[in-house]
């Protein structure tokens, strides 16, 4: 899949300057839930290194652990360039990964907000038992010890995330919990977030200036693309 296929342009597109962080332990079903509840009129771009890896290099899908080292640097470079282009185009985002690390989430939240984005969090929860069962059946199995550790860390961070993100959606996804009623409620909340007017003062300022001058992108008039790439490199620091 070519990188440009990920991009749509337009300052008047819906969902610009909006990003939702996906949170939940492995096996919670974050990707499945987002596909159920995201707005039909808005297609948020996934920010997820693993997904990009498999999209661009599907030939390594069956033995990714063995091959990862061969192209790790290339994948990271593509990931950084992709995110820079997303931000330059103001595209709506869905962020997946490392939700158990509060410091990483806060850094990435701050980075997006410095570009004018409003941020929210969609927290998907299940029981530990269900998480372990799902992880065991995944195409790329996750060790039970990792699941247990991640489960504990993420649930410890949950209260902090709930206070930190003004827009907060929690979705139960244990056995038989993801009912039509739950999905509909979450769908309305997610659609409301992506369709809401820009709340971030930086985003409002950028939007007004771009509309006034007929600019489609942040670069080159508001933010230089190379400067955007340098800022984005901080995203992937551990």
Greater model confidence, 101 or 100: 101
The 10s digit of each residue's pLDDT in 17-33 is 999 999 988 778 888 88
For the chain, what percent of residues have pLDDT higher than 70? 81
Hey, which of 13-17, 73-77, 145-149, 201-205 has the most confident mean pLDDT? Answer: 201-205
The 10s digit of each residue's pLDDT in 51-89 is 544 455 555 555 555 555 555 566 667 778 889 999 999
Greater model confidence, 138 or 102: 102
Residue 149 Cα distances to 9, 20, 131, 156, 175, angstroms:
41, 24, 12, 11, 21
The pLDDT of residue 150:
86
The pTM for the full model equals 0.83
Mean pLDDT of 6-26: 79
The 10s digit of each residue's pLDDT in 107-142 is 999 999 999 999 999 999 889 998 888 878 877 667
State the distance between the two ends of the chain, measured CA to CA, in whole angstroms.
28
Closest Cα to residue 157, out of 1, 25, 4? 25
Tokens of 235: 């995203």
Decide if 19 contacts 112 (C-beta within 8 A): yes
Mean of per-residue pLDDT scores for the chain: 83
Q: What span, in angstroms and rounded, lies between the C-alpha atoms of 159 and 180? A: 26
Mean pLDDT of 200-209: 96
Ordered domains of the chain (ranges, CATH): 3-236 (3.40.50.300)
The pLDDT of residue 10:
63
Q: How confident is the model at residue 7 (pLDDT cuts 50, 70, 90)?
A: very low
The 10s digit of each residue's pLDDT in 181-201 is 998 998 999 999 999 999 999
Q: Which residues are paired to 45 by β-bridges?
A: 93
Q: What span, in angstroms and rounded, lies between the C-alpha atoms of 78 and 235? A: 13
């Amino acid at each position: 899949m070519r990188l440009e296929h990920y991009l749509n342009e337009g300052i008047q597109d819906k969902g610009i300057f909006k990003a939702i962080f996906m949170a939940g332990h492995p096996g919670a079903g974050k990707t499945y839930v987002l596909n159920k509840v995201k707005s039909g009129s808005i297609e948020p771009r996934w920010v997820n290194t693993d997904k990009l890896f498999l999209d661009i290099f599907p030939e390594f899908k069956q033995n990714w652990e063995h091959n990862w080292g061969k192209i790790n640097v290339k994948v990271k470079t593509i990931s950084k360039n992709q995110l820079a282009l997303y931000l330059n185009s103001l595209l709506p985002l869905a962020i997946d990964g490392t939700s158990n690390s509060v410091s990483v989430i806060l850094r990435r939240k701050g980075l997006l907000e410095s570009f004018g984005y409003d941020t929210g969090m969609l927290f998907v929860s299940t029981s530990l038992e269900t998480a372990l069962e799902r992880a065991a059946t995944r195409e790329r199995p996750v060790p039970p010890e990792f699941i247990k550790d991640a489960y504990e860390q993420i649930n410890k961070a949950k209260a902090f995330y709930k206070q930190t993100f003004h827009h907060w959606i929690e979705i139960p996804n244990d056995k038989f919990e993801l009912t039509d009623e739950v999905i509909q409620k979450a769908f309305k909340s997610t659609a409301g977030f992506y369709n809401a007017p820009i709340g971030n003062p930086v985003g409002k300022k950028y939007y007004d200036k771009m509309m006034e001058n007929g600019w489609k992108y942040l670069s080159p008039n508001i933010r230089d693309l190379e400067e955007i790439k340098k800022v984005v490199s901080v995203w992937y620091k551990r």
